[in-house]
Structure 1
Amino acid sequence: MLSRRLFLKSTALIGCSVAAHPLLNTIAFASAPGENRLVVIILRGAMDGLDVFQPYGDPALRELRRTLSVGPENGAIDLDGYFALHPALDSLMPLWRVGELGFAPAVSTPYRDKRSHFDGQDMLEAGTGTDLDLRNQRDGWLNRLLQQMPNVQSETAYSIGLDDMRILDGPAPSKSWAPETRLRLSAQGQRLLEHVWHDDPLFRQAGGQAMEIIGSGVSTVEEENGPTRDARLLARFAADRLNGDTRIATFSIPGWDSHSQQEKVMSKPLARLAAAILTLKDALGDNWGKTTVLAMTEFGRTARENGTGGTDHGTGGAMLMAGGAIKGGRAIGEWPGLADRDLYAGRDLMPMRDIRAYAAWALRDLFDVSQDVLTRTVFPDLDMGDNPGILA
């Protein structure tokens, strides 16, 4: 017999094996006033920004990375005479050329020195400034944003994931969706379940979500197979919602932890990231011109490679920006340099700006959110500084 506990668990994890789908993470949506769209992609595992956007013009780079391939002579694509793009993102070069791809080269959250993926991701998604704030702040910055925006109506997508995204935790409701969702019930079966859960609020809520899955048409979302299939599915479903009433979407792409054999490790998540961005562009159509994509990671990696062809947990990293609404084709923000005297703690890229400031200015310019709300509520105690001019 199907127990109450098992049913509740099953409705949250319908139709998917975690082992078979390591990419799956919660994807959630909200509607908001206006026509601008925002997509936040969390890159779980600490992406090496020095590898993705290679500062080959800095003479120290090749000394720090003697076995890792860097620079145009090793296949990277020159961007501006100083930075080069990792060859696995070659498919994004048309976006760079028309100003729909950009990056901030030296950013981080306020998280320092402990270098834990879990704490770093929590701080990134909670949007807090200190560990103390993190312990006291139970919701995520996108959820706090939704609570502050007038006439916002939460819309749900249906996902199963390895875990919840803290960025969406809080009073503003969100549900979830992911590829391969499957649930089929006859009308008689649906009536029977509704009768069974009628007097149990928790059972009724989970069952109601399952019924929404049945009626949502989610199971009709299809994509061809391949190593980037799940990323394309997430992006295509996100675009489908963003072409409707949805204005804000977020999902995650894991796989960036590159302690050894970095050149092999990085190719897979970079291919997924490129596929997600290009799928968004293709599926959004004309709405791509009103869309901003922010790809953020919990921290960067060490400037110097280690003895196993990889890099370890660091501090400063890079933030990728894409979309028809951005003013790209450029590095946005200051570059600290890679000489020993310029490194953070003698080992990491020095962050030049709080990554939250870029997100805050994007929210301000996209949705006309006041700086007071952004620095007091969405990102507590944030110094936004000058507008970096992300949007075109």
Structure 2
Amino acid sequence: MPSRSRRNVLTNGLALGCSLAASPLLTPMTFASAPWENRLVVIILRGGMDGLDVVRPVGAPEYAGLRRSDPGEAQDLDGFFALHPALADLMPLWQAGDLGFVHAVSTPYRDKRSHFDGQDILEAGSGGSAPGRIRDGWLNRLLQNVPGAHAETAYAIGRADMLLTRGAARIADWSPDAGLTLSPQAQRLLEVVMHDDPLFREAVTEAITLSAATPAQAGQDGDADSGDMLDAMQSTMQKARRGARPETIASFAAERLRGDTRIAAFSLNGFDTHARQKDALLRALAQLGTAILTLKQELGPIWKKTALVAMTEFGRTVRLNGSGGTDHGTAGAMVLAGGAVRGGRVVADWPGLDEADLYNRRDLLPTRDLRAHTGWILQELFGLDAQLLERTVFPDLELGANPGLIL
């Protein structure tokens, strides 16, 4: 292959890097080690999961008229709520007390129903309805205030870091399907090319180290020119376009959690179901179910020390629209799993589905702040001070009564 100039390598390399950064197909994962034995997994369900379809209030007399789902296809939970059939494989966890749900909850976000604003408020953990007031994430603020907490080395490629983990505490991100594979010769060439750019050199060196590629994996011997480096980057980009499967994400998380890592966070997409919700939600929930079951299998005995919390930016309208989907709503549901959770129940101060009981006569009414449930999970899982949670981790929050979500 003809050699390429340094300028050509830089131009193509930077363009490739920008493409990776803009890619919506990669799922960044975040890890942090901390002085606890218990583990926490936070999954952000992007798009606005329809809690009324996932955890169906089939015992409510209004539900059948609002939704056209077959009541016989859902898995009965407690006689009032039933579980979406796509999560049927999780029923053994429910029966073992390792799966639970929280219903009719939301962040303080109201009315505008923007994905971007809703996700920002969810991940920032802020109490105000105006997005952007807090620039860091609640998980990062937690780590800033825990003595002895430090980041496990990790790396994110593919899109902007999660606001959930952004802040002063050093937390790095990792995308398991985007390893940077270079031969030793290409690595040395890259070091020469980046010699005069210490910041870029440090970032690339960390990426290579984290990818843990060996010469055998690289499959290259002898001298390397700039073409070797660019070919390796292009190979990485092709791999990145395929995205990370939920079992790959969960398996990678489990591997780290079996070691020093105590907190893992990642996101799953596909929950924006404006049209043909029956099909779209089936696919999205299948990914969630796969991630949960993979974590349980691969965590082994660590599963008993683990609490998994899956949350979304808002719920969806109680009525189906003309396209067989649902539009952006308000209250929704949280999914809890793990041996550390007090499962086998749906925790809810149920508001009802009569039109007069709905929020703005269109949405499920929120009866509890999602952040309060998350705060109690953190308090019981890690023994954190309530004032730290109410003033710093989740500003302006009142924890209220303890729902007892952790064993």
TM-score, with structure 2 as normaliser: 0.87
Letter of the 1:239 counterpart: A
**Equivalent in the alignment of 1:308:** 323
Q: CA 1:7 to 1:155, structure 2 compared with 1: closer, same or farther past 3 Å? A: farther
Residues 28, 156 of structure 1: 8 Å contact kept: no
Q: CA 1:70 to 1:128, structure 2 compared with 1: closer, same or farther past 3 Å? A: farther
> Which segments of 5 or more consecutive residues in structure 1 lack a partner in the other structure?
221-226
Task: State the shift of 1:187 in Å.
Answer: 2.5
| Percent of pairs with identical residues | 55
Residues 302, 348 of structure 1: 8 Å contact kept: yes
Q: Please tell me whether residue 142 in structure 1 is matched to residue 139 in structure 2.
A: yes
**Equivalent in the alignment of 2:361:** 346
**What's the C-alpha RMSD, in Å, of the aligned pairs?**
2.3
Task: State the shift of 1:330 in Å.
Answer: 0.2
What SS does the aligned partner of 1:131 have? coil
**Equivalent in the alignment of 2:105:** 107
Residues 35, 247 of structure 1: 8 Å contact kept: yes
Q: Mapping of 1:54-203 within 5 angstroms?
A: 54-65=56-67, 68-71=68-71, 73=72, 75-132=73-130, 134-203=131-200
In 1, Cα distance between equivalents of 2:91 and 2:18: 39
Among 32, 43, 54, the residue aligned to 1:41: 43
Residues 161, 173 of structure 2: 8 Å contact kept: no
Among 377, 383, 386, the residue aligned to 1:368: 383
Per-residue CA shift, 1:272-318, capped at 9, x if unaligned?
00000000000100000000000000000001111221111100100
Letter of the 2:195 counterpart: H
Residues 151, 172 of structure 2: 8 Å contact kept: no
Letter of the 1:206 counterpart: A
Per-residue CA shift, 1:139-160, capped at 9, x if unaligned?
1111111111110110133333
Q: CA 1:313 to 1:17, structure 2 compared with 1: closer, same or farther past 3 Å? A: closer
What SS does the aligned partner of 2:31 have? strand
Q: CA 1:352 to 1:216, structure 2 compared with 1: closer, same or farther past 3 Å? A: farther
Say which is worse superposed, 267-276 or 357-366, in terms of deviation.
Answer: 357-366
What SS does the aligned partner of 2:174 have? coil
Per-residue CA shift, 1:199-252, capped at 9, x if unaligned?
4232122212222233278x99xxxxxx99701100000000000000000000
Letter of the 2:383 counterpart: D
Task: State the shift of 1:192 in Å.
Answer: 3.2
What SS does the aligned partner of 1:155 have? coil
**Equivalent in the alignment of 1:205:** 202
In 2, Cα distance between equivalents of 1:121 and 1:161: 18
Letter of the 1:274 counterpart: G
Residues 8, 203 of structure 1: 8 Å contact kept: no
**Equivalent in the alignment of 1:223:** none
Q: Which contiguous aligned blocks of 4+ residues in structure 1 show a shift greater than 6 angstroms?
A: none
In 1, Cα distance between equivalents of 2:213 and 2:334: 34
What SS does the aligned partner of 1:81 have? coil
In 2, Cα distance between equivalents of 1:368 and 1:6: 49
Q: Mapping of 1:372-387 within 5 angstroms?
A: 372-387=387-402
Residues 11, 210 of structure 1: 8 Å contact kept: no
Residues 4, 203 of structure 1: 8 Å contact kept: no
Residues 155, 207 of structure 2: 8 Å contact kept: no
Say which is worse superposed, 305-314 or 265-274, in terms of deviation.
Answer: 305-314
Q: CA 1:59 to 1:267, structure 2 compared with 1: closer, same or farther past 3 Å? A: same
Task: State the shift of 1:6 in Å.
Answer: 5.4
**Equivalent in the alignment of 1:297:** 312
Letter of the 1:140 counterpart: G
In 2, Cα distance between equivalents of 1:324 and 1:378: 25
Q: CA 1:216 to 1:319, structure 2 compared with 1: closer, same or farther past 3 Å? A: farther
In 2, Cα distance between equivalents of 1:228 and 1:187: 26
**Equivalent in the alignment of 1:214:** 211
TM-score, with structure 1 as normaliser: 0.90
Q: CA 1:211 to 1:189, structure 2 compared with 1: closer, same or farther past 3 Å? A: same
In 2, Cα distance between equivalents of 1:11 and 1:305: 41
Task: State the shift of 1:135 in Å.
Answer: 2.2
Task: State the shift of 1:259 in Å.
Answer: 1.1
Residues 27, 244 of structure 2: 8 Å contact kept: no
Per-residue CA shift, 1:174-197, capped at 9, x if unaligned?
332224323232333323333433
Q: Please tell me whether residue 278 in structure 1 is matched to residue 293 in structure 2.
A: yes
Q: Please tell me whether residue 32 in structure 1 is matched to residue 34 in structure 2.
A: yes
Select the structure of larger CA radius of gyration.
Answer: 2
In 1, Cα distance between equivalents of 2:390 and 2:312: 21
Per-residue CA shift, 1:294-349, capped at 9, x if unaligned?
00000000011112211111001000100010010001131111011110111100
Q: CA 1:126 to 1:63, structure 2 compared with 1: closer, same or farther past 3 Å? A: same
Q: CA 1:101 to 1:168, structure 2 compared with 1: closer, same or farther past 3 Å? A: same
What SS does the aligned partner of 1:358 have? helix
Letter of the 2:69 counterpart: S
